[in-house]
Structure formats: structure tokens, C-alpha cells
Amino acid sequence: MKLNYEFFYDWTKANLNIHLNGYKEKQLQRRIASVMKNAGAVTLEEYTGKIQKDPAVKQEFLDYITINVTDFFRNQDIFEEFEKQLVTYLSPQFPNLKIWSAACSTGAEAYSMAMILDKHGIRSSEKILATDIDETILKRAKAGAYKTHEMKNVSDADRSRYFQEENGTFYLTPAIKNRVQFKKHDLIADRFSSDFHAIVCRNVTIYFKNEVKEELYQKFSDSLIPGGLFFTGATEAIYNPEAYGFKKLSPFIYEKI
């Protein structure tokens, strides 16, 4: 049976404020069909009724489409490159760094940056802004508590310096937690703030349609100050950075001209 995705996109936009028509269609529709089946619905019309009535079904749907996979220092070689740029290029030029981790998931990416700033004694009165569309994951991020399997990229030195372990859970120290501020933000629908020195947006534009991705690159560029840096994910190199006013410094780091 052909599923009525147009109806579903309109419904999710009106009722859940999620703009699914910005996401790549094939991948998204596969996920929707699968999560709909899990809920025991046969049509999308029936599925919307279940989402409305049962908070667990609604949560499962939101979890399924947001894909929260993340890690501390994800793709370590790229993070080392970030560290180098933050320490040798950005921090000497700008005394008060304004940094945004867009689509931050559990906060591992933003907290990794906070650890880097702390390690190098980089002070900043601005907190790192960390945003995501998913309110459930933002609650987890704010808690700053991680299980052992989420800690695989954190060195022993960083574990003992920045975390306290209790019964298999690693709690971030207040000093690192206080360097990050979490907020709900939808990259497709919401306004962007400006005057950032660095924006990190990794492993989310892969889910968006090309035209949405292109619009986002322009908006990120507009949100950076000249000389500011944009970090992308390991599979998200921008093939025409000049079109957005970026100069490529490495495959995943771009400078706003």
C-alpha cells in the first residue's frame, strides 16, 4: 500500500512542529515506515492517531527520526585539527570566543570543546551554545552523565580530570558543565544567532536535502564573524566553499572570509 507521506509531513509540521520535507526522502520514508510498523499502524493516518494518543509512540517516533549517535572527540583526527585551530588561530585573535555546537545530541561534542578550552586555559565569558531539535536528548545533555560505552574516546587523564565516576556512570564536573548552555533549536525552521567565532555542525546535514543543506551553509556563513571557522563532519566536506564565502583550510574546516 502506498503511504501518504505528504499528509504525514503536513501533520507533523502542524502538530509537532517538525519540518520533515527538508530531509532526504528515501532514507526518511524508510525510517517512518519502519517506526510506524513498530507501533502497529498500517497507514500514516492511523499512525498519527497513535502518536496523538500515546506519548510512548510519540517518543519512539521522535527518537527514531532524530538519530542521536554521537561521541566525545568523534573522529579524533578531526578533533585534533579543531584543537589546533582553536588554540593557535582563534584564541590568540579573539579573547572571548563565541562557539556554537549545532545539532549537539547528548552534548558530547560541546563538552569535548569545553574540555579543550579548559585544557589550554582559554577563558571565555560566553558559554558554548549547544542546540538540538530533540528535547529529550537535550535533557540528557544538560545532565552531563555518561555510561562507560560512551566514554571510549575520553583519555584516562581527561576522565580523572573532568568526570566523577559513580556506579558505572561518569558525571561531568560542574566546571565543564558550566561552560555549555543548551537550547532547543531547529536548523530548518529557526532563526540563527550571529557573531560566532566557531560553528561546529557535524553529522546532521547528511540527512537533509541538497537545497536545505545549501541554505544552511549560507546561514552558517552569515552567522560567523570574518575569520571565524566552520567545522563539518567527516563525510560532509563542502565541494564549493567559495559559494558561501568560505575558504577551505582542511577538508572539514572552513574559514569565513
Ligand X SMILES: C[S@@+](CC[C@H](N)C(=O)[O-])C[C@H]1O[C@@H](n2cnc3c(N)ncnc32)[C@H](O)[C@@H]1O
> Binding residues for ligand X, per CB under 6 A?
66-71, 74, 103-105, 109, 132-134, 137, 186-188, 202-204, 233
At closest approach, how far in Å is the CB of 28 from ligand X?
Answer: 10
At closest approach, how far in Å is the CB of 108 from ligand X?
Answer: 6
- DSSP element (H, E) containing 247: strand 246-250
Looking at the Cβ atoms of 43 and 213, the one nearer to ligand X is 213
Looking at the Cβ atoms of 48 and 203, the one nearer to ligand X is 203
Closest listed residue to residue 210, CA positions, set 37, 25, 56, 31: 25
- Give the count of beta carbons closer than 10 Å to the beta carbon of residue 43: 15
At closest approach, how far in Å is the CB of 195 from ligand X?
Answer: 20
Closest listed residue to residue 190, CA positions, set 17, 53, 72, 8: 17
Tally helices (H) and strands (E) across the chain.
11, 10
Looking at the Cβ atoms of 71 and 83, the one nearer to ligand X is 71
- Per-residue cell: 72: 566525545
Q: How far apart are CA 182 and CA 140, in angstroms?
A: 10
Looking at the Cβ atoms of 237 and 257, the one nearer to ligand X is 237
CA distances 225 to 72, 194, 195, Å, are: 26, 8, 5
At closest approach, how far in Å is the CB of 150 from ligand X?
Answer: 11
Looking at the Cβ atoms of 73 and 162, the one nearer to ligand X is 73
- Give the count of beta carbons closer than 10 Å to the beta carbon of residue 83: 18
At closest approach, how far in Å is the CB of 1 from ligand X?
Answer: 28
Contacts of 160 (CB under 8 A, 6+ apart): none
67: amino acid identity, one letter: I
- Per-residue cell: 80: 585534533
Using an 8 Å Cβ cutoff, are 228 and 197 in contact? yes
Looking at the Cβ atoms of 43 and 215, the one nearer to ligand X is 215
Looking at the Cβ atoms of 36 and 133, the one nearer to ligand X is 133
At closest approach, how far in Å is the CB of 204 from ligand X?
Answer: 4
Closest listed residue to residue 115, CA positions, set 168, 165, 72: 72
At closest approach, how far in Å is the CB of 252 from ligand X?
Answer: 11
Using an 8 Å Cβ cutoff, are 107 and 142 in contact? yes
